[in-house]
A and B are shown apart, each in its own frame.
Chain A
Amino acid sequence: MSATQCRSIAEVAVGDELPTIEIPVTLQRLVMEAGANRDFSLMHHDGGVARATGAPDAFANTYFLMGMFERLMREWAGPYARIRKIGPLRMLIFNAVGDTLSIKGVVESLDEGAGTVGVSMWVDSDRGQTVTSKALLELAR
């Protein structure tokens, strides 16, 4: 993404879909993620511990999923957008090793005066809808 790409508020309508991101959850990705975001809860990088707590395998932590929502918004809105709020973000089902996640979003509201856009985002996998979140962005005029 270059700094010249930028979505303005005038280009946006309620119902617009954010381009879906597909990302497989692998143990390597979870280990890299734990090292980068520093949530070292064992169930996020140790399959044995995760299974002992009832999870199907090691599973993605909240910071990874919030970061993926940030990526979804950034790729759609461009570098000039300011992300003002994320949430409430709710974890519904595990996002475990072996799953492929589809990160999705849609424009839910628009305030041209304030230059802000409300989006609704969610994650789908073979397990169903695994995470939901709202967010508020300020777009270029």
Chain B
Amino acid sequence: MSEPSWGLWGSWEETESLLDKQVGQSTGPDPVERGSIRRWLEPKEFACDIHTDAEAALAAGYEDIVAPVSMVFTYGMAAYWQPGDKPASIEDEPTQIQIPVIFDVPAPCDKSFATSIEVEFFEPLYPGDVVTCTSKLVDIKRKELKVGEGAFLRQEDTFTKQTGEVVAVSYLDIFRFVATTAEHQS
């Protein structure tokens, strides 16, 4: 392929060989702490003192200040850069965000988009917790849409803390495809 692709290229047989298998794992480089919580709340103008005040959090039944549930994704991401890494540009393989079913699962597709995400939350995240995200490919549904031919791939992410307790389980649906060419459009 002469142009940068949006995902790892391969055959459908290679895609199907990874069904129900682990396709990625990352551990957040930083534990949960109040500074990162505050910076996450700030651009959303989100003011709730269980996230900033231990006394308020205890009164609400928590053990300490608690991270917003949606922050689990952030705490489970690996670091982006190592010293010496070059900055990202539009020409690069777009791996700025970790989505293993796009970037690590081969498929005969060069484009993709996310269609939906759902997440169930279990144990709260407290300062000091470290989150690991383990990703599995749990479904493949071949489909032809108006944009092109490809498949819906479902990624299950299980977020655990250092104790082994499950913090959240999410399901991300991605459509990977090759664009329909003009001569194929009806």
Contacts and interface: CB of A to CB of B under 8 A. Distances in A.
Interface of A: 1-4, 23, 29-30, 32-33, 35-42, 48-49, 52, 62-64, 66-68, 70-71, 74-75, 79-80, 82-91
Contacts of B48: 1, 71, 74-75, 79
Contact of B39 (A23, A35, A74): A35
B69 interface: yes
Contact of B56 (A52, A66, A68, A79): A79
Interface of B: 36, 39-40, 42-50, 53, 55-57, 59-61, 68-71, 73-74, 77, 80, 88-90, 94, 96-97, 114-121, 170-171
Contacts of B88: 40, 42
Given A3-B59, A87-B116, A38 B74 contact: yes
8 contacts: A4-B59, A36-B42, A67-B71, A71-B45, A74-B48, A79-B50, A86-B118, A87-B118
B105 to A, nearest CB: 18
Interface of B is mostly: mixed
A117 to B, nearest CB: 15
A40 B97 contact: yes
A135 to B, nearest CB: 10
A62 B114 contact: yes
Nearest to B81: A40
Contacts of A2: 49, 56
A32 B53 CA distance: 22
Given A40-B80, A67-B40, A85 B118 contact: yes
Contacts of A36: 36, 39-40, 42-43, 74
A41 B56 contact: no
Contacts of B69: 70, 83, 86
Given A36-B43, A40-B88, A74-B46, 8 more contacts: A32-B39, A36-B42, A67-B68, A71-B44, A85-B119, A86-B121, A88-B118, A90-B116
A3 B49 contact: yes
Contact of B70 (A82, A86, A88): A86
A131 B118 CA distance: 13
B124 to A, nearest CB: 9
The 5 nearest A-B residue pairs measured at CB: A87-B118, A32-B43, A3-B56, A88-B116, A3-B59
Contacts of A85: 118-121
Residue among B49, B59, B117 having the largest count of chain A Cβ atoms under 10 Å: B117
Nearest to B39: A36
A52 B91 CA distance: 11
B173 to A, nearest CB: 8
A67 B116 contact: no
